[in-house]
Amino acid sequence: MNILTEKFSTPYHSAPFNEIKNEDYLPAFKELITNSEAEIDAIINNSEEPTFENVIEALAFSGEQLDRASNIFFNLNSAETSDELQQIAQEVSPILTEYSSKISQNEALFNKIKKVYDEREKYNLNEEQQMLLNETYKGFVRSGALLNEEDKEKLKKISMDLSLKSLRFGQNVLASTNNYFKYITNREDLAGIPEAILEQYAEEAKERTLEGWVVTLQYPSYIPFMTYAENRELRKEIALANGKKSFDGGEFDNQNLIKELLTLKQQKAELLGYKNYADYVLEERMAKSPTKVIDFLNELLIKAKPYAEKEIEELKALAKTDGIDEMHGYDHAFYAEKLRKAKYDLNDEELKPYFPLEQVQEAVFGLSKQLFGLTFVERNDIPKYHEDVKVYEVKENGEYKSLLYVDYFPRKGKRAGAWMTSYKNQYQKDGENSRPHISIVCNFNKPTKDTPSLLTFQEVTTLFHEFGHALHGMLANTQYPNLSGTSVKWDFVELPSQFLENFCYEPEFLKTFAKHYKTGEVLPDEKIEKIAQSKNFMEGYQTLRQIGFGLLDMNYHSKVAELEGLSVKEFEDNYTKATQLYPVNPETAMSPSFSHIFQGGYSAGYYSYKWAEVLDADAFQYFKETGIFNAETAAKFKVLLSSGGTKDPMELYKNFRGSEPKVESLLKRAFG
């Protein structure tokens, strides 16, 4: 018996992590693909007249067990991977890509879908059913259903190549990150670094059976070093290593892979009748076209750049007092922290004791109860994939609503960053509302023998950000799994996450949880006031940075022909030039480790962070107008969250806000 092919007998049919073995995956995928293909065959071979129910709905509910196995496997490959899992991923990815191509290019199935779509006027469909029908039909067309057989084969091969190459891109970045560490034996080289961080570096050294301190390129190690280390030469050395990730010409170099990935995406777009990959992607976004995105980013660039330049001038003046005539990127975090401390008398290490992880988690749980009526109860009887993971049963009015997995600490087999994901979608079928299983994964400092996990304020906002995504998943209340939760237009998906971050800067809310882990003392009012004031600290710089990433992404995916005569580095420099505020280092490039667009789902979509900021600034402005805990406003926002992809996002937003979002809300919040 293969555990992955059976109905799970765990509480709420949760993933039986404790029983899954690596050798289960490949045979399970093969068996579940066969089962899913049988479900598709049953739809095709049904002799009855094609209807919405026996074609569109039947297809929406097919392959559930396969989806669950895929979610388990690929989530673990990000959060708890191993050489063996990565090898399995290389074998599994092409099989799954072939399976999905087989369905999306199945002529007999598409003919039935097209018949229902062409005759849609005769069905009395509600809004969600119409959306499902439109999305299903469009999804098949965008996957090549209208192509001839030869082009279908070409598309299938391109999709398989893309799947494998993007997987390899991520593996190279992880390997390149893990391969580097800086071993330090002289305590003086660590001047300026707070004790808690030194303790972390000493623990890292001990794990490697070394005496002294070890700094890695994992964010909880790298960022504090760049922020506090007084040794400029070491900052430069470690920043250089970070900037060379997968860009050093070695075994894990991604430069050729980038060109291969972009060429394949361009070929796919042209095959499907689009000018470029950005056009293909943006057809399914709120923004609609590359021109609109580039105009949006350039409008923000014009407005933000003077603020950014003013901020950098202030930092340069500070660096000059240390005898530095030319600042570089590796100086930024160090002097920004100095300036922030001087301006607001705030530094991360001083604030961290007031933000123990468990307290911050309780705060976000409490906010979810106040706004949306959710409560969280830890469950110790639900299997988990690592001892660091905790599982909560989420309830609404005492009724089971969702499971929430939280995984907070870095490990060797875990990729960097923070993300929300799902192990099981929500849907309604046969009178039952099948609830979702949601997961949040972060990389915060582990607790030590004497100290709990203490978060920087930025990490506090990261937790709120991912929890916003989690709420989108947990509150889902739609009929079909493929319209549920975060299954929305990509440039709408960041609204809930960025919206929730706003609460971290509200003094009345901060006071409820910013308490010293030893004494219980509330963070003093003047510090809380300064956190609120510091919200827009370096906002110009951060905005330009995000715009640079967005422009680079959009140009990669709309001007791939230009890349033929250029190196990845040259292309990157060309399209980020207008947003650069420091000298560009010829030895570093960020593209080869830009996993968001070359491994994740942000290809031609990185702009959506800024796009969603307009939405979140406008939405939170509404909350501020009515009161940040206003029950009526929260109830309207809950409707937006629970609706998933059942309506056009702009319609959902207008139903909540009463009008379209205004870019002025963002500019007002950012620059006053």
Query: What are the φ/ψ torsions at residue 628 (nearest 5 degrees)?
Result: -65, -15
Q: 243: which residues sit within 8 A by CB, 6+ positions away? A: 585, 587, 588, 589, 590
Residue 665: closest CA among 609, 606, 616: 616
Q: 510: which residues sit within 8 A by CB, 6+ positions away? A: 504, 523, 528, 531, 532
Strands 374-378 and 181-184: unpaired
**Local structure of 427: helix, strand or coil:** strand
Query: What are the φ/ψ torsions at residue 288 (nearest 5 degrees)?
Result: 75, -40
b/e per residue 37-49 (b: at least 16 CB within 10 A): beebeebeeeeee
- Can 23 be counted among the known catalytic residues? no
Phi-psi region of 296 (alpha: psi -120 to 50; beta: other; left: phi over 0): alpha
As beta bridge partners, residue 390 has 406
**Local structure of 396: helix, strand or coil:** strand
Distance CA 355, CA 372 (A): 24
Distance CA 394, CA 417 (A): 25
As beta bridge partners, residue 406 has 390, 440
As beta bridge partners, residue 214 has 183
Rg (CA), the chain: 25
Question: Do 290 and 558 form a contact (C-beta atoms < 8 A)?
Answer: yes
* Torsion (CA) 510, 516, 517, 518 in degrees, nearest 10: -160
**Local structure of 629: helix, strand or coil:** coil
* CA distances (Å), origin 156, targets 74, 100, 584: 21, 9, 40
Place of tokens 């070359």: 598
Distance CA 661, CA 603 (A): 24
Q: 270: which residues sit within 8 A by CB, 6+ positions away? A: 276
Distance CA 52, CA 480 (A): 13
The burial class, CB within 10 Å (0-12 / 13-18 / 19+), for 387 is exposed
Residue 559: closest CA among 243, 286, 291, 284: 291
Distance CA 169, CA 16 (A): 30
* Torsion (CA) 248, 253, 256, 262 in degrees, nearest 10: -120
Helical axes 83-104 vs 149-179, angle rounded to 10°? 160
| 466, 494, 501, 572: the active-site residue | 466
DSSP letter (8 states) at residue 515: B
Three-state SS for 351-395 is HHHHCEHHHHHHHHHHHHHHHHCEEEEECCCCCCCCCCCEEEEEE
**Local structure of 183: helix, strand or coil:** strand
As beta bridge partners, residue 419 has 441
Tell me how far the alpha carbon of residue 42 is from its chain's centroid: 36
**Local structure of 196: helix, strand or coil:** helix
Question: Active-site residues: which are they?
Answer: 466
